[in-house]
Amino acid sequence: MRAASGLSRTGTQGRPKPAERIRQTPISELGIVGAAVGAALTGLRPIVELMYVDFSGLAMDQLVNQAAQNRFMFGGQARVPMVMRTQGGSGRGNAAQHSKSLEAWFAHVAGLKVVMPATPADAKGLLTASIRDDDPVIFLEHKLLYRTKGEVPTGEHVVPLGSADVKRAGKDLTIVSWSREVLFALDAAKQLGSEGIEAEVVDLRTLVPLDKDAVLSSVRKTHRLLVVHEAIKRAGFGAEIASLVAEEAFDDLDAPPRRLAGLETPIPYAQHLEKTVVPQVDDIVRVAKELVA
């Protein structure tokens, strides 16, 4: 667990030495994030790393009451340009205290931005944009995505926050997802395509800010919506997408929006049980067929 003083102070000439840029810290999430908030307020752009998103609860006062609120409370005179990187999600047998998907927590807090990349190229481009942003950004990485490979642009590569990406075009239904479930959705779309159902896969990439236009444009083309995410269904971010479409594109729908999400249970340790509580490729295929039928 470590915090890194990511960039030099505004206006400082030259590049800090590595020893000045990376700081190993005691295992205290409250202290790590609190130090990052203070560093950001003094002009640095710190990147703070927590080993698991499950431990972010220990630093929620610093995130929710300090990082997210300072710019508003000081009338824009104070900025907190920090990034909190952490990993979440299941699939590695890390059990209940190390496998949560808590993006809905952060998305509910005014002042925080929430980023969840699904591909290596997006991870690079979104992290660059997050570091350069003047607001605090929660950068959530799925632990199993560290194994994935893909082409990554060399040199300057920035993916703007609030820009969704259509990972696969289709005409019969829209599948909206983020993080690891995007890869599952793409596998499901390929299988559906072999059966004559063309699914469009929209990767949100950032939950806050949300690219509403991309979601609405896709639904208005396909007339059906399936939202897929690993977090528990109850009060999950998928409800936000479903309600957005119901409010702004109701007349374009040929069927009610559907949500496919995690079960209301802690993540089990046993691998065969772990897979049953979060959506898998076969689950997406099944629900998509029900929606189209």
The DSSP line for 97-154 is GG----HHHHHTSTT-EEE---SHHHHHHHHHHHHH-SS-EEEEEEGGGGG-------
Backbone angles phi, psi at 38, to 5 degrees: -60, -40
Residues with Cβ within 8 Å of residue 55, at least 6 apart in sequence: 29, 86
Give the active site residues.
29, 98
The DSSP line for 229-290 is EEEESTT-THHHHHHHHHHHSGGG-SS--EEEEE-SSPPPSSHHHHTTSS--HHHHHHHHHH
What is the rounded CA–CA span in Å between residue 105 and residue 60? 10
Q: Are strands 206-208 and 113-115 parallel, antiparallel or unpaired?
A: antiparallel
Residue among 37, 156, 101 at smallest CA distance from 266 = 101
With contact defined as beta carbons under 8 Å apart, do 205 and 159 qualify?
A: yes
Task: Find the distance separating the first CA and the last CA of the chain, reported in whole Å.
Answer: 49
